Amino acid sequence: MIETDGKLVRMTIAGMSCDHCVRTVRKAIESVPGVRSASVDLASGRAEVRVIPGWVDEQGLRSAVSQAGYEGEIEASSGEVPAAADTADASDEDSAGSGDDSEGPPPRPSPANASAPLPPVVSIGSMPGADRAGEAPDLPVGAGEPRELAISGMHCASCVARVERALSGVPGVSEARVNLATERARVVVDPSRFDEQALRLAVSEAGYDARPVEDDADPSRAAERMRRDREGRVAYWRRRLIVGLVLVSPLVVLGLGPMLLGGAWAQARWIGWAMLLPATVLQVYLGGPYLAGAIDRLRHGSTNMDTLVALGTSTAFGYSVYHLAVGDHEGTHFFMDAGIILTLITLGSFLEARSRGAAGQAIERLLDLAPKTARVVRPGGREEDVPLADVALGDVVRVRPGESIPVDGEVIEGESDVDESMLTGESLPVTKRPGDTVVGGSRNAEGTILVRATRLGKDSALQQIVELVREAQGSKAGVQRLADRIASVFVPTVLVIALITLLGWGLGSGSWRAGVLNAAAVLIISCPCALGLATPVAVAVATGRGARAGLLVRDASAFERMDRIGAVVLDKTGTVTEGKPTVSDVILHGSLDRDRLLLLAGAAERGSEHPVAHALSAFADGREIAVDGFRAVRGGGVSASVDGRMVLVGSAAFLEGRGIAVPDVDAGGVGRTVVHVAVDGALAGSIVLADAPKPHSREAIDTLRRQGIEVFLLTGDDPSPARAVAEAVGIPPHHVFARVLPDEKASKVAALRMAEGGRARRVAMVGDGINDAPALAAADVGIALGTGTDVAKAAADVVIATGDLRGVPRALALGRATLRAIRQNLFWAFFYNAVGIPVAALGLFGAYGPMVAALAMSLSSVTVVTRARLINLSPI
């Protein structure tokens, strides 16, 4: 065992080539029981693992890294160097498969790394941040444990940038991402240095408020809390809008009366004084928060939308007060202008709050799927309704017809159809029988079933889906970085333009009244809020739409990369085919009978995790038979001593490479694979296994090809069965890559990224197995099937909740629709400001400039949010 004081265990990692690799390795290590956290550094090829003393052994860590497709060695633990261990990499053998597209140990991401030596050991003193005495080194970007904060007080993209800078400056924070649309901050921290109070203080010092987002084991309570927060924001702006409409009405009557009625009304000097009271209330009640925010930003040395609104409305209000004080009642109409401006801005904020709330309801809908209580069957048969948070692992719950299944678990009694559409996008109910697994949040149909709870809380499928959606909504697309850079200088630039407008009109034409009017219009019409919302609202809507369709997008940047996919590479076994091969025929070549041949082959395959191995090992289940010297050969097969006889099971090339002649065997159908068996150096038989294509594979591939996307099949199988499957699902023969070893898959994907003629093209890889992880990481977009391994899903950008390949064209369609919305939103935000600000500065809006500007500014944000919500109507 590795005995440490709970600080760091250092490892060297070989085979990493990109950020996907870093993420895959980190998640693999953190899955080992007893590991508190792991940080992985690509540049040094090194991992630092924080463990619970006495819980973790070396082999467990090495095996986790190996199963992820890389090589890891223990360098040292904090305080002591672990006892030397056998450095023979047994994992290369244990994780191998047999003779199809999953055999061999998990490959490294690139064949270029296949023979690369381990990177040099880097001492802790050379790690970033290690020069601070007594402190742990800084984590690499993105490494650590995530924390979520609710941020209040943000109005625009410049607010987002300021909060991100504040959080990133807190010791122990490796990454901070802030989302204006969801008003959330996602912070990745080093648990050993995590100080929640420091995060909140940093946000407070930046001029905003932060509170931790509570983790709730009860999804329904979490949904209720989110709903309460959303409705509270809408109610806040509704109250202010009502007050604004009530008070602005007399201002409009008094302000327009002299113009419309003339005569004595036009000469009435009391009108200005009568307008002062409602205008002052509006300025304090509606304008006060903007003024307070502007002062707060000024105190912290920054500016934002509050600054623009406060300056614009305060200038108009102050200008009227000045004219009222000196007896010039003609200038008092700005009371009306200021009141209308504030009311229109409040109207825009109200509409925006409603739209943003609707755009972010995806997580609420997911959490609402779980019931508030579960009916637990106690020993003796007594049943008790308990809160969902009180259900324990192993508890048995009864689910009656029409009820939502409260927990992930295994059916132990009863049979029923279960509707999983809200979680997987699969419209047809799935029949569940004893031994089948069910997902919490799915709905039971007609039968009554008993379910034993196997996963609860954060480990449940529903909570993991919610976490994926939250993570995606908190991420940033590449185009958002441009908006962020512009937003950081936007407000100061607008202030300079407004000052130039004021001085230009005042000094150039001598009309300070026009200068004030047009400068106020410039301040008000500019809208950094639209820039800040353009991308995150679209991402929030798209991730919610995807989740409802069973498409889980991990990162906003994936939407960009899905936009122009030119080729899709499909793994064969388990992706295009069912991945559950069965023995369809046995051809004997020696003296062994059928049963004995299958027994020996099945016993030899017990140590492999390949689907073919599962099909064969079933013939040895329950049989006590001695197996020694198991060895798996990458991309070939397995060898083992079974009852004292040397048994080889694998492809023809595998046996021929060992001097055993293998005749041609006709598999006799689509999706059939031949595995040959040799005993004591002589060919004993050939086993034909059938693995039929999935029912909807042909439909999915036809859809991709109609979209102009080339489709390729990648497999470790022999060419003949590979081409037969390809023909059955509509893939051209010249697009089939057969006999591809696991560690060659990534290089095949990389080669396909260069189309004919040397043109670069974007490639998506679709897979489900451990050995697909490097290829998923090497592709522009990695897509994993939800029926696949956790390692494959960890390396993917998109996870399709079901094993249905039709999710691939749907995911790509969602990516195109999302990026189209983002581009249109950013174009509108830039175009609106690029046109509106000069028009306001030139006075082309006339006397109603500030009011027109306020209306335009309010509508700009609403337009951006509304356009994003149209993603829900895009066909996928």
User: Which are the catalytic amino acids?
Assistant: 571
In 3D space, the residue among 577, 581, 586 whose CA is nearest the CA of residue 676 turns out to be 586
CA torsion, points 358, 868, 163, 239, in degrees to nearest 10? -40
| Residues whose CB falls within 8 Å of the CB of residue 842, separated by 6 or more in sequence, listed in order | 518
Q: What span, in angstroms and rounded, lies between the C-alpha atoms of 322 and 634?
A: 85
Are the beta carbons of 776 and 765 closer than 8 angstroms? Answer: yes
Residue 674's Cβ-side half-sphere holds a number of Cα atoms within 13 Å equal to: 22
Q: What are phi and psi of 39, to 5 degrees?
A: -120, 140
Closest C-alpha to 553, from 814, 187, 850: 814
Q: Exposed (0-12), middle (13-18) or buried (19+): which is 586, by Cβ within 10 Å?
A: middle
Write out the two tokens for 294: 């502007």
Among residues 265, 152, 153, 143, which one has the least CA distance to residue 192?
143
Cα–Cα distance list, 585 to 372, 632, 636, 647, 675 (Å): 52, 24, 21, 19, 11
d(CA 113, CA 170): 37
Q: Measuring CA to CA, how many Å separate 324 from each of 335, 520, 708, 795?
A: 10, 19, 69, 68
Nearest alpha carbon to residue 66 among 91, 33, 103, 96: 91
The pair of structure tokens assigned to 821 is 């919305």
Q: Helices marked H in 526-656 — which ranges? A: 528-548, 557-561, 594-604, 611-617, 652-656
Q: Phi then psi for 337, rounded to 5 degrees?
A: -60, -45
Question: Residue 78, Cβ neighbours under 10 Å: how many?
Answer: 17
Look at strands 736-737 and 710-714 and give their pairing. parallel
Helical (H) or strand (E) element with 260: helix 219-261
Q: What is the DSSP string of 859-874?
A: HHHHHHHHHHHGGGGS
Alpha helix (H) residue ranges in 509-610: 512-525, 528-548, 557-561, 594-604
CA-angle at 353, arms to 351 and 354, nearest 5°: 65
The secondary structure element, H or E, covering residue 781 is: strand 781-785
Residues 6 or more apart whose Cβ sits within 8 Å of residue 596: none
Please report which helix (H) or strand (E) contains residue 375, including its range.
strand 373-377
The answer for residues whose C-beta is within 8 angstroms of residue 319's C-beta and 6 or more apart is 331, 334, 513, 516
DSSP string, 64-132: HHHHTTSEEEEEEESSSPPPP-----THHHHT---SSTT-SSPPPS-GGGTTPPPPPP--GGGSTTTTS
Asked if residues 306 and 155 have their Cβ atoms less than 8 Å apart, the reply is yes
Which residues pair with residue 254 across a beta bridge?
none
Phi, psi of 384 (to 5 degrees): -145, 130
Q: Which CA distances in Å does 397 have to 370, 524, 831?
A: 14, 59, 57
Per-position b or e across 649-687, b if 16+ CB within 10 A of its CB: bbbbebbeeeebebeebebeebbbbbbbbbbeeebbbbb
Query: What phi-psi label fits residue 172: left (phi over 0), alpha (psi between -120 and 50 degrees) or beta?
Result: left
